[in-house]
Structure 1
Amino acid sequence: MKRVLHKLLGLTLAMAVLASPASAFDTRASSAFVIDQTTGTVLLNKNADVPLPPASMSKLMTLYMAFEAIRDGRLTLNERLPVSTHAMSYKGSTMFLDTTDRVRVEDLLRGIIVLSGNDACAVIAEALSPDGTEAGFARMMTQRAIQMGMNNSTFTNSNGWPQAGHRMSMRDLAILANHLITDFPEFYPLFAEREFAFDGRAPQNKTNRNPLLGLGIGADGLKTGHTSEAGYGLVGSAKQGNRRVIFVLSGLQSAAARAEESEAIVNWSFRQFVQRPVAKAGTVIAQADIWMGAEPRVGLVPAQDVTALLPALNAKQVEAEVVYQGPISAPVKQGQEIATLVLKPAGMASVQVPLVAERDVPKGGFISRVATVAQILLGRLNDGPEGAT
């Protein structure tokens, strides 16, 4: 079977050769990844698969596993957990816990999200660890990350405290952010909380460090990070209208640079790209040839409405083609996936959309099969002897 390609140019679907590509964002971050969550379109990739020290951004993995434990009934929000000497020993950003405390899980979650509590992470980790140690929980984190497709992540602790081998890539952090948003919508609003005054004991550490919250640009999460080795970073997300963007930055030189770069990334993502309808479900995009069928061709349609993220300056034009291995052997069932619509906005990654058969095409009867063989023989005769020039 041969690969069949149909170029689609100038159709009513607004498909033509794109004139101007999207302008790239020149980020100061040493590593960055930006994705339009709504369409899955990658907008920016700078060293996104390089494993780097993630600092406190790796706390998101501890949170994800805590949310899973709550969903599975292994933890409850009102359960009170003890604080070990090890957990209390953490410095940096903490909830100022000590070994006399027994802290509600819900308070620990807020302490991690809003206060970036290193000690709170360790308390959760020891409660969920198979051997009661933070190191044991870190091994669980690594295993779970691999299961989630985060192949450039290795954890040695629960909170991102500088330690050899504790690494995550920016793409992995974006994957994790997407899971937090989609898997646990009931907990996601916690990431937008701007203040948490736990027990009144740490007035100097009660404000969320996310610089985008409250700016009116749709930002509602997720986690900042900073160590001398990693620099300043942020796993962020913002929603405007029906679109949501997830972005990860690392290696910035100051908190001010992190704030400026993050806001600029959000504004660029929403202003330079727009989501546009391309084709409605059931609309015939092209025809595919059928082998030995009751009909010679079948219409190719998208099973769902197709939208694409396009450069804002030329959102009505995009190159497209339909690709399939043909001719397709009968019988063909309605809804059977048999082709791919490939959208190619200049300056952006291509988008592939499955196309399905518009209707059933059963095997042809005797006459149809004879006609097909006759067409083949006629075609060979017209081509002349093999090897002729």
Structure 2
Amino acid sequence: MIEAAKRPAEKSGALAIAVGQTRAEQMAHRARSLPALLVMLAFALVTLLPLRAFAFETTAPTALLVDFSTDRVLYEKNVDERIAPASLAKLMTLAVIFDALRQGTVERNDRFTVSEKAWREGGAESGGSTMFLPLKSEVSLDDLIKGIIIQSGNDATIVAAEGIAGSVEAFAKTMNAEARRIGLTNSHFTNPHGLPDPEQYVTARDLVLLAAYLIREFPDEYPLFAEESFTFNGIKQQNRNPLLRVGADGLKTGHTARAGFGLVASAERDGRRVMLAMSGMQSADERASETRRLMEYGLQDFEEVVLIKAGEPVGEMPVSDGVVDTVSLVADSELRLLVPRGSLADMTRTIIDNGPVVAPVAEGQRLGWIRFSRGDETVRDVPLHAAKPVARMSFLRRIGETIAGHLTWRSAKEP
């Protein structure tokens, strides 16, 4: 699942828009179906229980760690509590921008004018994170994207929002429409930069789902999150993500007095990717240390193991009235599980049949299942099928074997 899940191409005319609509109206009008993989992820994050691993604790009030390829929750803490997003809201802003690029409603070389609002609310005068965009200058969307990702520029988000949707308010409506389409069920956005607003909130669960969406849907844009610096107008700024230097390749930091210090991050090691969201920490140092601990926990303390290989016999089952007495049992596909490292020895497996097996048996006939358990917890049930057909023995042979069995019994009874 690490590879991007491409959205199915829309049929010609499926996105027809009335003539005269603005970009904002066009974008808000879209209500395409969610890609299947994202539906699966949203379901998995809601329903799957976290794996029991070695105890992990964090000082972060809110935290979620998910394995990317399996969607398994590895650690969770207050994941559905509504929190102020701070600059983590910019991930939703980027999702809207990336989708607009994909739909062709904007292009990277489009140039937008820095308005008075963008300059005053998001520029140097604001005291917040800024790209230092000069008032009334024109900036390419490509530079704005880098300014949002790398420099966390509030002014860049306002300029992009106004250029794409006409106003910050219209863009926020598009953000919420896109959030619902993606599957964010407990988030609401009122601006593109994440500056404090009591009506704006997210959850750790929604943030991880959003991160997964960005990674899967936009493989060409995602590498921008790993860029460590960006220079614009002669001013060089460093990426604030503290995990980039220790193995992460995205995504975004956030901080306001109300929200505390937060981070949404992802890292890949030895073919395994994890995603995390943490928020509410008291300092940048605490954010750096706690997010690194959680990232390392996900990458080091779990392993993917092969429990069953496709077509490899896992046991036998007795067969009555067959030309052979047993039939081998196989699974149709390989079973891989993500488990706490070193816990495989604690797992037991039990073959459970559907009842007595009487010949004839067809190849591939389902005969039962194998259950993997850890203590009282059922980890996975896997259907088992007959590896080969078993023919029913002939009538004469059955009579012969019945007589032979009877004679053997009589012989054993005689003194």
Could you tell me the TM-score, scaled by structure 2's length?
0.69
Tell me how far 1:228 sits from its aligned partner.
0.4
Q: Aligned pair 1:93/2:139, yes or no?
A: no
- 1:269-311, Cα deviation, whole Å (9 max, x unpaired): 22211111122234466899xxxxxxxx9966243x3211111
CA positional deviation for 1:211: 0.8
By how many angstroms is 1:358 displaced?
Answer: 6.8
Deviation (angstroms), 1:185 = 1.0
When structure 1 is superposed on structure 2, of 184-193 and 315-324 the one drifting more is 315-324
CA shift digits 1:176-227 (9 cap, x unpaired): 1111111111111101111001121x44xx0101111122xx2111100000
* Partner Cα distance (1:105, 1:345) in 2: 52
Which blocks of at least 5 consecutive residues in structure 1 are unaligned? 1-19, 289-296, 328-332, 362-389
Instruction: Tell me the C-alpha RMSD between the 2 structures.
Output: 3.5
Letter in 2 for 1:87: A
Cα distance in 2 for partners of 1:139, 1:319 equals: 51
Amino acid of the structure 2 residue aligned with 1:192: A
Matching residue within 1, 12, 31 for 2:62: 31
Secondary structure of the equivalent of 2:229?
coil
Counterpart position of 1:165 = 199
Does the CA-based 8 Å contact 2:225-2:250 persist in structure 1? yes
Aligned in 2, Cα 1:359/1:98: closer, same or farther, shift over 3 Å? farther
Name the structure 2 match of 1:124. Answer: 160
SS in 1 for 2:342: helix
Asked if residue 175 in structure 1 is aligned to residue 209 in structure 2, the reply is yes
**Quick check: 2:370–2:384 contact (8 Å CA) kept in 1?**
no
Alignment of 1:47-86 (within 5 A): 47-86=78-117
Name the SS of the counterpart of 2:336 in structure 1. strand
Partner of 2:292: 263
- Which residues of 2 match residues 1-389 of structure 1 at below 5 A? 22-88=53-119, 89-90=121-122, 91=126, 92-129=128-165, 132-200=166-234, 202-203=235-236, 206-215=237-246, 218-283=247-312, 301-303=331-333, 305-319=334-348, 343-345=372-374, 355=383
Distance 1:62 1:169 in 2: 16
Distance across 2 between alignment mates of 1:337 and 1:172: 39
Q: Work out the CA distance in 2 between the residues paired with 1:133 and 1:326.
A: 67
1:173–1:355 CA distance, 2 compared to 1 (3 A): farther
Which 10-residue stretch deviates more, 132-141 or 160-169? Answer: 132-141
Secondary structure of the 1:43 match is strand
Q: Of Structure 1 and Structure 2, which has the larger fraction of its residues in helix?
A: 2
SS of residue matched to 2:65: strand
Residues 1:140 and 1:356: Cα distance change in structure 2 (over 3 Å)? farther
Q: Distance in 1 between matches of 2:261 and 2:365?
A: 49
Structure 2: gaps (5+ residues): 1-50, 318-326, 357-361, 390-415
Deviates more, 1:145-154 or 1:276-285: 276-285
Q: Which has the higher contact order (CA 8 A, sep 6+)?
A: 1
- Percentage of pairs with the same residue: 39
Structure 2 residue identity aligned to 1:164: P
Answer yes or no: is the 8 Å Cα contact 1:274–1:315 preserved in 2.
no
2:28 corresponding residue in structure 1: none
| Distance in 2, Cα, partners of 1:338 & 1:136 | 58
d(CA) in 2 for partners of 1:63, 1:279: 41
Report the TM-score when normalising by structure 1. 0.74
Match of residue 374 from structure 1: none
Tell me the alpha carbon deviations over residues 149-194 of structure 1, each in whole angstroms, 9 at most, x when there is no partner: 2111100111111011110000110001111111111111101111
Q: Secondary structure at the match of 1:150?
A: coil
1:100 Cα deviation from its structure 2 partner: 1.9
Instruction: Give the paired residue count.
Output: 327
